[in-house]
Chains A and B, each alone.
Chain A
Amino acid sequence: MKRKLFSQPVLTEGSVVQSIIEAENLLKKFGHFTAVNRISFKVFSGECFGILGPNGAGKTTTIRMIYAFSPMTEGSLKVFGLDITRDWRRIKARIGVCQQENSLDPDLSVLQNLEVFARYFNIPKKEAQEKALDLLDFFALHDRMYATVSELSGGLMRRLVLARSLINQPDLLILDEPTTGLDPQSRHQVWDRLEELRAKGMTILLTTHYMEEASRLCDRLLIIDHGLILVEGKPEELIQKHVGRDIIEIERPPHELRSYIESQHLDYEDLGHRLVIYCEERNDLYREITKNFCQEGCMMRMATLEDVFLKLTGRELRE
């Protein structure tokens, strides 16, 4: 008999969707530096919510406040309707966290990592063992359960961190850059597992640099920078609203093309060696450009979340 892996949220008919996270005017200062600048957002039950932003934007700081790792400076933060400053222990008992840095216990085996972690949640031994074996199955780690952590590859380690974050059957899963540094195969495997969890109704909060990851997994997302929310919405709506449907990119644009585009009142960005035009259904424009200005180095493609991200957060390097 297959045991039930994850608790399912009970949504009775006609019930209002419950908010899992309610952040209001969340402020975090480190000395004089404001890492998170009075942001407000809500995450609802059963959704996968993304926080995107360049390095140093405040993503990790935000989620660390949500799992009561760092105290907020000001504002109000409720998780499961409970106040984080008062009920942090009850909240933490219901959250699973996959931190950015590998924090697996290298002194213990794969299985022991899960069992020891279960103990931190006061899960009885027998229950913990069953749960650990189920999770090892789910993440295809069963053959490696007696291996020590240092013998695992990066992809396996990340799967183990994910398995560990589910040991307490969390009602909210928090993932801080879950696929950073993984090869494409491992990344896709992690995505598959996360999609499976999402389909089962798990509420997920994730931060990522990968726009493909955000588009694929997130129902809704925030793009933040310098501790402020730039936009909030569904991935496809954000693309539609901020960059339109299509992108025309021109490498090394000739001078005449620049003046032509200027005269057409188009939404575009001039990156010096490259022009990026944001548009909608403009096959005509594309033909015009390729015919009259450049035969090579011009292409039209679908707009992606990455275009939104770069447009809003700028292209200069961070850090």
Chain B
Amino acid sequence: MSQLSAISISRRFLRVWQRNLMVYRKSWKINFLPPFLEPLFYLLAFGLGLSALVGSIRYQGSEISYTRFIAPALIGVSMMYNSFFETTYASFVRMYYQKTFDAMMATPLSLEEIITGEIVWGATKSFVATAIMMGVISLFGFIHYPDGLLLLPLAFLGGMAFGSIGMLFTAIVRNIEMFNLPVFLFVTPMFLFSGTFFPLDRLPLWAQKLALVFPLTHLVNLTRFFSFGQIQASALWGLGYLLFFSLILFPLAILKMHRRLIK
């Protein structure tokens, strides 16, 4: 981080964060809706529909219902979506179409602060969405407290990881359509193959190994640990991986953004 402070990040990044919060609050009712409805829809569809076909699932040596199995994964996926889509499409619109970053750069803010503010905002959106989803999923009795509260800081960490990689894509795409590439080559495969909707051990061994590269695999693992209140030592590996991922991608996103915008 010392290298980062050399390229001037002060607490002023919060100004950028505040700007986004102000816009978010203007339509908070609409913004609250997706994290509220999404788990309901999924749990109803999978609980009522698919569950009857799948029955129960063997997880960590015990049988649990399929809906209970996927509920924490839905939270993990939402942590990914909220930050990733914020720092890709939404940040790109602000940067490219609205010239919001240009305007900010004519003030005492540095580019590093602007990008940091955006990524931290993405992580905040993951945090808020997680809090709302926890409320809904708790009604089904699928979250074990107090361990479940660890989902909140986890949301922020996951948000930093996915927000940073999203910002990296924003720094390198030429136009907004190009986001289709990371969405279909990175986000969608993760959504399906990170142990979200079926346990990873159903996959061939090589695919299981490959899935460990996906940050979502670790994030979903952790959401299950925290939701079920069965925290295992491997949680540290998962946290370490997400932290490592963020610490690499966050400075990289800033560096690439610097290349793109400072001319």
Contacts and interface: CB of A to CB of B under 8 A. Distances in A.
B110 A108 contact: no
B107 A103 contact: no
A247 B19 CA distance: 55
Nearest to A95: B106
Given A70-B262, A116-B22, A105 B108 contact: no
A102 B107 contact: no
Q: How large is the interface on B (under 10, 10 to 19, 20 to 34, 35 or more residues)?
A: 20 to 34
B18 interface: yes
Contacts of A102: 99
A121 interface: yes
A103 B98 contact: yes
Q: How large is the interface on A (under 10, 10 to 19, 20 to 34, 35 or more residues)?
A: 20 to 34
Contacts, number: 63
Q: Interface residues of A: mostly helix, strand, loop or mixed? A: loop
A106 B98 contact: yes
Contacts of B15: 119-120, 122
B22 A108 contact: yes
B255 interface: no
A168 B109 CA distance: 13
Contact of B262 (A71, A92, A168): A71
B8 to A, nearest CB: 8
A119 B109 CA distance: 10
Given A103-B99, A119-B15, A93 B106 contact: no
A120 B22 contact: no
Interface string A74-118: 000000000000000100110101010111111110001000110
A72 to B, nearest CB: 12
B29 interface: no
Nearest to B23: A107
Given A119-B18, A121-B108, A99 B103 contact: yes
Contacts of B18: 116, 119
Contacts of A138: none
Contacts of B12: 120, 122
Query: Which 9 pairs of residues, A with B, have the shortest CB-CB distance?
Result: A103-B103, A103-B99, A97-B106, A120-B107, A107-B23, A93-B108, A92-B108, A103-B102, A89-B108
26 contacts: A30-B263, A69-B102, A89-B8, A89-B108, A89-B110, A92-B107, A92-B108, A93-B107, A95-B106, A97-B106, A99-B103, A99-B106, A103-B100, A103-B102, A105-B98, A105-B100, A107-B23, A112-B22, A116-B19, A116-B22, A119-B15, A119-B18, A120-B104, A120-B108, A122-B12, A122-B108
Interface of A: 30, 67, 69-71, 89, 92-93, 95, 97, 99, 101-108, 112, 116-117, 119-122, 165, 168
